[in-house]
């Protein structure tokens, strides 16, 4: 068996892993797990253009862990480049992808159009124009390839393969994937079990259920986004969030701007803020959710209520009975979005994208970053090279729509709300394995985080053969 890492190897974005194996069929088995978009930095567009260069017509199937674009965002390009086979996802993930991939394609088209219009002379001198990574039509075509499978239901995407999705507790529909592969070599058959963690949620957090335990694997891929750090306890996180919001809205009388992924993070932030109002830790708030995709994602979250924890279901019922605590307005129309720029204080504006590199959040930052009475509250991971990461790292000025914007607003980073497990959460999930896997690969983390987590696995769990792979590195697993 061969395993090649085409993304999220010593970095966070671009998840894509190619598995190749000999079976007793005449054709070598080939499939990929995840098909993610690279995000952050000027090189991400070129990296996405050159990705997926590994014989797509020979792929047997695709498995997808969840709907976030760093795991799913190149599916339309996969289709456009010639793959027309099945893509297996959970039911909730399929519902979210119908929203997310179309929105991503729309953004791709609009950003290409904007860049070609504003930099026409520069492009003309080079003899080319920027093309979108994929179009809305190509995204629509890719959605037809989705095959829905519920948690806990065994399915067989190939005669030599059996799979089961388990709840990963990260976002709605996120899955840990167990894969049993019947491999043929040295004149004998053997069954090897692969486990792909996908992104794992932090246990004992609001909204989703805890990640399901898995007890054994021959080969394991484990994420490490926060593999080198611990989140603050929830009580301390709430204190920090309350202080940031109260100071901004009531003492400085400014606005709070919260970048948040439309899927997962926006819903969690809404539930947390509602819970703080319910417990009277915050007064009733005026919350504006400026992301059309977040509206659909929130509706889908309610639709899949069976995937939420009991406390969140009770909170949903309470908020329905108290619709002004907090007052939540979802912004769909562009004109309504622009009108938010006329609000100079008292608003909590939640908008995408979560790393501040695209979408409506950039306009809200443009109008609020230069105002010292305002605050930006970062609640999610910010990949290297993104605008969000530059803000977290203390940038004094940032570039937005071709203009330099001074950063005078307070920047708060509140990591305790992360949808990713921290080091203890990850090690706790790994402790369910009855014996160490033969091979353990630490993925989906920046190089420092992955290396630190690999060391922690060896020291605290006494696992041998823990490896941090690099981009495009291939391992032959005998």
Q: What is the pLDDT of residues 48-103, one digit of tens each?
A: 999 999 989 899 999 999 999 999 999 999 999 999 999 999 999 999 999 999 98
pLDDT at 122 over 60: no
> How confident is the model at residue 201, as a pLDDT?
95
> And the tokens for 220?
């394991």
> How confident is the model at residue 126, as a pLDDT?
61
Sequence-distant (≥ 6) Cβ neighbours of residue 251 within 8 angstroms: none
Contact indicator for 16, 47 with CB cutoff of 8 Å: no
- Look up the CATH number of the domain holding residue 328: 3.40.50.10890
pLDDT tens for 409-427 read 999 999 788 889 999 999 9
> How confident is the model at residue 43, as a pLDDT?
86
Average pLDDT over residues 386-403: 93
pLDDT at 127 over 70: no
3-state secondary structure of 138: helix
> How confident is the model at residue 124, as a pLDDT?
54
Q: Are residues 205 and 260 in the same domain?
A: no
> In angstroms, rounded to a whole number, what is the distance separating the alpha carbons of residues 166 and 177?
6
pLDDT tens for 263-307 read 888 998 999 999 999 999 999 999 999 988 888 888 999 999 999
pLDDT tens for 312-362 read 999 999 999 999 889 999 999 999 999 999 999 999 999 988 889 888 999
Q: Are residues 244 and 199 in the same domain?
A: no
Under DSSP, the state recorded for 308 is B
Contact indicator for 116, 123 with CB cutoff of 8 Å: yes
Last residue in a domain, options 417, 433, 459: 417
Q: Strand (E) positions, 94-243? A: 146-149, 155-158, 161-167, 175-185, 188-196, 219-223
pLDDT tens for 4-44 read 999 999 999 999 999 999 987 668 999 999 999 999 877 89
> How confident is the model at residue 154, as a pLDDT?
98
Q: Are residues 412 and 263 in the same domain?
A: yes
Last residue in a domain, options 369, 400, 417: 417
> How confident is the model at residue 322, as a pLDDT?
94
Q: Are residues 199 and 273 in the same domain?
A: no
Residue 110 Cα to chain centre, angstroms: 22
Q: Are residues 81 and 136 in the same domain?
A: yes
> How confident is the model at residue 293, as a pLDDT?
85
| Domain range for 292 | 234-417
> In angstroms, rounded to a whole number, what is the distance separating the alpha carbons of residues 24 and 160?
8
Which of 179-193, 218-232, 430-444 is the least confident region? 179-193
Q: Are residues 31 and 179 in the same domain?
A: yes
Average pLDDT over residues 130-142: 94
Q: Are residues 101 and 146 in the same domain?
A: yes
Domain count of the fold of the chain:
2
Closest by Cα among 325, 89, 297 to 207:
297
Mean pLDDT of the residues in the chain: 93
Q: Are residues 128 and 272 in the same domain?
A: no
Residue tagged 């490490």 (tokens): 224
> In angstroms, rounded to a whole number, what is the distance separating the alpha carbons of residues 206 and 264?
12
Sequence-distant (≥ 6) Cβ neighbours of residue 171 within 8 angstroms: 66, 67, 68, 96, 199, 201, 208, 263, 264, 419
> In angstroms, rounded to a whole number, what is the distance separating the alpha carbons of residues 379 and 373?
20
């Amino acid at each position: 068996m061969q395993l090649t890492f085409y993304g999220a190897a010593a970095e966070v974005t671009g998840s894509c892993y190619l598995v190749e194996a000999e079976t007793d069929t005449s054709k070598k088995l080939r499939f990929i797990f995840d098909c993610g978009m690279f995000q952050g930095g000027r090189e991400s567009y070129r990296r996405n253009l050159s990705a997926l260069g590994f014989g797509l017509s020979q792929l047997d199937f695709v498995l997808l862990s969840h709907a976030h674009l760093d795991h799913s965002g190149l599916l339309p390009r996969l289709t456009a480049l010639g793959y027309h086979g099945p893509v297996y996802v959970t039911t909730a993930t399929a519902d979210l992808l119908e929203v997310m991939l179309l929105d991503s394609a729309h953004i791709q088209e609009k950003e290409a159009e904007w860049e070609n219009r504003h930099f026409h002379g520069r492009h003309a001198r080079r003899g080319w124009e920027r093309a979108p990574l994929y179009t809305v039509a190509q995204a629509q075509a890719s959605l037809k390839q989705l095959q829905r499978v519920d948690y806990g239901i065994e399915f067989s995407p190939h005669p030599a393969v059996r799979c089961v999705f388990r709840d990963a507790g990260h976002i709605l529909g996120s899955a840990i994937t167990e894969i049993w592969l019947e491999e043929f070599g040295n004149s004998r058959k053997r069954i090897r079990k692969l486990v792909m963690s996908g992104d794992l949620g932090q246990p004992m957090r609001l909204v989703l259920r805890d990640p399901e335990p898995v007890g054994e694997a021959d080969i394991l891929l484990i994420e490490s986004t926060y593999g080198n750090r611990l989140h603050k306890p929830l009580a301390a996180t709430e204190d920090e969030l309350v202080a940031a919001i109260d100071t901004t809205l009531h003492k400085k009388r400014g606005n709070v701007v919260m970048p948040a992924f439309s899927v997962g993070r926006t819903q969690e932030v809404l539930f947390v803020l509602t819970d703080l109002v319910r417990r009277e830790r915050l007064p009733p708030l005026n919350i504006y959710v400026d992301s059309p995709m977040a509206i659909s994602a929130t509706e889908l979250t309610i639709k899949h209520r069976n995937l939420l924890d009991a406390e969140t279901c009770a909170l949903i019922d309470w908020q329905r009975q108290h619709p002004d605590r907090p007052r939540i307005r979802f912004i769909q129309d562009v004109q309504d979005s622009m009108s938010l720029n006329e609000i100079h204080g008292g608003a909590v504006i939640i908008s995408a994208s979560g790393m501040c590199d695209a979408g409506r959040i950039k306009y809200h930052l443009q109008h609020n970053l230069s105002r010292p009475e305002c605050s930006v509250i970062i609640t999610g991971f910010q990949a290297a090279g993104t605008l969000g990461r530059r803000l977290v790292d203390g940038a004094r000025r940032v570039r937005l729509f071709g203009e330099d914007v001074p950063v005078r607003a307070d920047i708060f980073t509140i990591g305790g709300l992360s949808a990713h497990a921290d080091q203890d959460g990850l090690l706790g999930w790994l402790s369910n394995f009855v014996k160490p896997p033969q091979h353990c690969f630490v993925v989906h983390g920046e190089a420092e985080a992955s290396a630190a987590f690999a060391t922690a696995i060896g020291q605290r769990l006494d696992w041998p053969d823990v490896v941090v792979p690099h981009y495009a590195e291939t391992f032959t697993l005998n």
